[in-house]
Structure 1
Amino acid sequence: MPLLPAGSVVLPDPDAVARSAAERLVALASGTQRCAIALSGGSTPKRLYALLAGPGFRTRVPWGRIHWFFGDERVGPSPEAGSNLRMVREAFGPDSPVPEGHLHPIPTGPDPDAAAAAYAAELAAFHGGGTLDPARPLFDLVLLGLGEDGHTASLFPGKPAVAVTDRWVVGVPEAGLAPFVPRVSLTLPALASSRLTLFLVTGEGKRAPLGRLAAGEDLPAGRVRAQGELAWLLDAAAAG
């Protein structure tokens, strides 16, 4: 097996990755009065969300305690705008167990900077202030994926958003991969303000970026930190 990022856990397949993440989410949320989770896009997270709303986990998830935010979103006038929100709603199903007002989508207006500012204000209002405090993380759980170029959320290699440290949310005028539509993304400081961060990584296409990260290459995903635990849940195909 090739070198893997620190904190890697190798599981048999995408279903096992989703189940492991679900168990961790339930344990974490059950120990809090109010839980803030940052959601990721992608096929593996979608599997997780559908699992949470399904018969095996639906009654175990403390839905009334959880507020769901987004790590990034496609915005602007293109048909892709709001795709992560659509995916999450589809995964939770037509009889979604998420209470009214507990899903906090990123605005998808034409100006990514304006959308980012609006979402930052919503996060600050929920958090009770605009300052990150190590003793009181912004999120209880951050879910992330890994792009084949090493990006995570909408923080792409070589793009200015990766270097932003004075804001929680940033507009990304052009993505680093297709579709090249505007995005809004949480910044590295916001992602780091978490009790638990889980990367969900599956499929053979992720072997190369995982190897690059393990070798110490400076990729956006490798810059992610967490106030608490940071773990990589990988399937066997991604781990090689």
Structure 2
Amino acid sequence: MIPLPTNSDILPDADAVARAAAERLVALCESAPNERIAVCLSGGSTPKRLYALLAGSDYGPALPWARLHWFFGDDRMVAWDDAASNVHMARDAFTGAPIPEGHLHGMPTTGTPEAGAAAYARTLRDFYGADILDPARPLFDLVLLGLGEDGHTASLFPGKPASDAAAAWVAPVPEAGLAPFVPRITLTFPALASSRESLFLVTGAGKQDPLTRLARGEDLPAGRATSVGRMLWLVDQAAAGA
């Protein structure tokens, strides 16, 4: 079996990973009974499964939808009705969920990546109420992260400038590191780290290679991700080589 990062749980399959993540969100909501709850969403098939679970009868009734705000870790520069859009994916998966108007905060993706990144940074700062992140008061309650087969997470690709952004909360990605080579917007490592809890959702045999490279100590973007709170890797058996 592949050596996994610290604080990893090995689960049977992608469905079990999605259910474990849903249970973590429910627990976080229960621990913050009188506050707004901010969740940073990830793209991908396992997160989509998670969002559908949250909208369904197993977990939906346990969530305080009126207090939940949903943000995005990254997105492609396409219209929100495009199949490649993370907003489109989330809206589709959340079908039937009672998300209040204005609580799904999509990234502006119809202009330039630079303009979209600046606008989304303003959205985050307005929500947070400050221009500087305080480790004692995280921006997010939960950040969901994925692991790309090249080791990227969000749209922080190996060798791309956004991976080195140290001050900005949101960065433009004019050239993606993987196909489709569509410009993107991404949260930066400092913004992603500002969370009470962060979950890496890692499923499928295709993730064995980047997990192996991380275990060898390669400097991959996913290995740079940190959290001011707890970070947990939820890995299925196929990804772990178990």
Q: TM-score range by the shorter chain?
A: over 0.9
Runs of 4+ in 1 over 2 A off after TM superposition: 76-82
Q: How many residues align?
A: 239
Residues 146-198 of structure 1 deviation map (CA, whole Å, 9 limit, x = unaligned): 00000000000000100001100000001000000100000000001111000
Quick check: 79-88 or 154-163, which moved more?
79-88
Quote the residue 2:21 is aligned against.
Answer: 21
AA partner of residue 236 (structure 1): Q
Q: CA deviation at 1:76?
A: 4.8
Q: 1:233 to 1:77 in 2, by over 3 A?
A: closer
Q: CA deviation at 1:30?
A: 2.2
Quote the residue 1:91 is aligned against.
Answer: 93
Give me the whole-angstrom Cα distance separating, in 1, the residues matched to 2:223 and 2:18: 22
Q: CA deviation at 1:4?
A: 1.1
Q: CA deviation at 1:81?
A: 7.9
Quote the residue 2:4 is aligned against.
Answer: 4
Quote the residue 1:130 is aligned against.
Answer: 131
Residue of structure 2 aligned with 1:34, choices 36, 39, 62: 36
- Tell me if the contact between 1:148 and 1:205 (Cα under 8 Å) persists in the aligned partners: yes
Quote the residue 1:69 is aligned against.
Answer: 71
Q: 1:84 to 1:34 in 2, by over 3 A?
A: same
Any gaps of 5 or more consecutive residues in structure 1?
none
- Tell me if the contact between 1:74 and 1:81 (Cα under 8 Å) persists in the aligned partners: no
Structure 1 segment 187-202 matched on structure 2, within 5 A: 187-202=188-203
Quote the residue 2:58 is aligned against.
Answer: 56
- Scaled by the length of structure 1, the TM-score of the pair is 0.97
- Tell me if the contact between 1:81 and 1:108 (Cα under 8 Å) persists in the aligned partners: no
Give me the whole-angstrom Cα distance separating, in 2, the residues matched to 1:10 and 1:143: 17
- Tell me if the contact between 1:11 and 1:236 (Cα under 8 Å) persists in the aligned partners: yes
1:219 lines up with 2:212 in the alignment: no
Quick check: 166-175 or 68-77, which moved more?
68-77
Give me the whole-angstrom Cα distance separating, in 2, the residues matched to 1:78 and 1:47: 19
Q: 1:100 to 1:79 in 2, by over 3 A?
A: closer
- Tell me if the contact between 1:175 and 1:182 (Cα under 8 Å) persists in the aligned partners: yes
Any gaps of 5 or more consecutive residues in structure 2?
none
Residues 178-230 of structure 1 deviation map (CA, whole Å, 9 limit, x = unaligned): 00010000000000111100000000000010111122110000000000110
Quote the residue 2:210 is aligned against.
Answer: 209
- Tell me if the contact between 2:198 and 2:231 (Cα under 8 Å) persists in the aligned partners: yes
